[in-house]
């Protein structure tokens, strides 16, 4: 739990507000509720940004593509640094186009029979 304004972890509980735990920052006196994090972006948005970053897309490019501030993404990266999603990438590349491997190798084209020549050869005797 961190203060959304100053990132201080010196937080006091401050009663309840609309059923959610209310907090107050001891450092800057900012009041906020639980899950205030990152200006209300959805978990999906967070996952997409983290995945884009993990794919090598820069923070500015992510900001242009999603409209989410690079500062927000940096905060998410800090929060997620302990649990970066790496397992999802490798699975996408397997199990597609494997049917090609099962095709038989090309049969050599059967040559025309040369029977006729053999038949004619009988007359030579
Ligand atoms: Zn604060």
Cα 28 to middle of ligand 1, angstroms: 4
Is 53 within 8 Å of 66 (Cβ atoms)? no
Regarding the domain delimited by 38-86, which CATH topology (the fold level of the hierarchy) does it fall under? Answer: Arc Repressor Mutant, subunit A (1.10.10)
Cα 1 to middle of ligand 1, angstroms: 11
Cα 33 to middle of ligand 1, angstroms: 13
Cα 107 to middle of ligand 1, angstroms: 75
pLDDT for 89 equals 43
Residue 73 neighbours by CB distance under 10 Å: 23
Enumerate the H helices of 26-96 as residue ranges: 43-54, 59-66, 70-80, 87-93
Query: What tokens does 36 get?
Result: 């205030």
Cα 65 to middle of ligand 1, angstroms: 30
Query: What tokens does 73 get?
Result: 């993404």
Q: What is the pTM of this model?
A: 0.36
Query: What tokens does 10 get?
Result: 């010196």
Q: What is the mean pLDDT of each run of 10 residues along the chain (125 residues)?
A: 87 83 91 63 87 94 92 88 52 44 50 46 43
Is 18 within 8 Å of 31 (Cβ atoms)? no
């Amino acid at each position: 739990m961190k203060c959304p304004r100053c990132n201080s972890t010196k937080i006091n509980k401050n009663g309840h507000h609309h059923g959610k735990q209310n907090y107050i920052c001891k450092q800057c006196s900012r009041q906020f509720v639980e899950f205030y994090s990152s200006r209300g972006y959805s978990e999906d948005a967070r996952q997409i940004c983290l995945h884009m970053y993990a794919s090598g897309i820069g923070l500015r490019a992510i900001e242009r593509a999603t409209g989410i501030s690079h500062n927000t993404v940096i905060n998410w990266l800090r929060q997620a640094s302990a649990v970066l999603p790496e397992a999802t990438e490798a699975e996408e590349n397997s199990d597609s186009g494997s049917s090609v491997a099962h095709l038989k190798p090309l049969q050599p084209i059967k040559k025309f029979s040369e029977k006729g020549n053999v038949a004619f050869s009988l007359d030579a005797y």
